[in-house]
């Protein structure tokens, strides 16, 4: 693993480039930005997503030419599998929120080394809020340490999850007794759990690595347990970088959810 001094430099790089991404996003926010649907029902994309992704790839790989690259809007290159360290980037996490003119979208940037995320940032440009974490060094929002909720009982917990995730077919004993809210950005859901504003979050839908990597380190460093919906840890920079759902929360709540959840194939 890279020494602490290298991780500090990596963090500074990601923060700087996330802010540059924010400049592009602000230019397009609440404008008539070009928008289209991706093939095979993969969701919407905007010209801002593409511009940010291309800018980040150019600048980050110029700074770290020995790293691989994995991002949402650039075609996957299997050559990344030959790299021990790889950038994992979502240029705009929460594209639907961005298209609506909301401020709850972010730029999610992470570095994974030997399958583990070591440095991550999530920048919300309209709010000018920077979440960040370094493995073993805690998680922060604009320099303020983050800590997950102290709740230990699932009854009455407040969860971030989509309505479809509560379908009884996924919960043999019935859906968990939680209050539910939703946010488009999966990274934002990680950050909200990390800050203790929500008790837990889960999605039983498959999730791409770029939707999870940055938020997973931020939540994990704030004290959350973060696993796939199978209860397993995930090794990043996988050949097929899509994980079977995500469950995020303090250890007691995470354990309770996993005992209630029907095993995910």
Tell me the binding residues for Mg(2+): 72, 90, 92-93, 211
CB of 31 closer than 8 Å to CB of 99: no
Q: What CA–CA distance (Å, rounded) separates 75 from 97?
A: 23
DSSP one-letter code for 263: P
Q: Residue 205 has which token pair?
A: 């839908």
Cα separation, 99 vs 30, whole angstroms = 7
Asked whether the beta carbons of 153 and 164 are under 8 A apart, the reply is no
Do the strands 207-208 and 179-181 form a parallel or antiparallel pair, or are they unpaired?
A: unpaired
* Cα–Cα–Cα angle for 151, 156, 160, rounded to 5 degrees: 80
Give dist(CA 210, CA 36) in Å, integer: 20
- Which residues are documented as binding site? 72, 90, 92-93, 211
Q: Cα–Cα distance between 75 and 71 in angstroms, integer?
A: 8
């Amino acid at each position: 693993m890279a020494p602490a001094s290298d991780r500090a430099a990596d963090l500074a790089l990601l923060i700087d480039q996330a802010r540059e991404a924010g400049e592009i996003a602000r230019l397009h926010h609440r404008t008539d930005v070009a928008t289209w649907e991706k093939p095979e029902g993969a969701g919407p994309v905007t010209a801002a997503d593409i511009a940010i992704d291309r800018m980040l790839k150019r600048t980050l790989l110029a700074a770290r030419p020995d790293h691989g690259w994995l991002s949402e809007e650039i075609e996957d290159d299997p050559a990344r599998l030959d790299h021990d360290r790889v950038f994992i980037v979502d240029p705009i996490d929460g594209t639907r929120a961005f298209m609506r003119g909301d401020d709850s979208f972010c730029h999610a940037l992470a570095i994974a080394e030997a399958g583990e995320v070591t440095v991550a940032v999530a920048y919300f440009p309209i709010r000018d809020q920077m979440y960040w974490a370094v493995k073993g060094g805690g998680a922060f929002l604009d320099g303020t340490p983050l800590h997950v909720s102290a709740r230990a009982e699932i009854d009455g917990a407040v969860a971030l999850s989509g309505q479809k995730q509560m379908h009884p077919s996924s919960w043999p004993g019935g859906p968990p007794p939680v209050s539910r809210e939703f946010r488009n950005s999966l990274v934002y859901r990680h950050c909200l759990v990390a800050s203790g504003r929500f008790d837990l979050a889960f999605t039983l839908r498959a999730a791409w690595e770029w939707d999870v990597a940055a938020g997973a380190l931020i939540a994990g460093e704030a004290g959350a347990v973060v696993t796939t919906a199978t209860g397993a840890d995930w090794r990043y920079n996988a050949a097929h970088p899509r994980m079977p759902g995500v469950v995020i929360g303090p250890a007691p709540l995470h354990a309770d959810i996993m005992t209630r959840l029907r095993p995910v194939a």
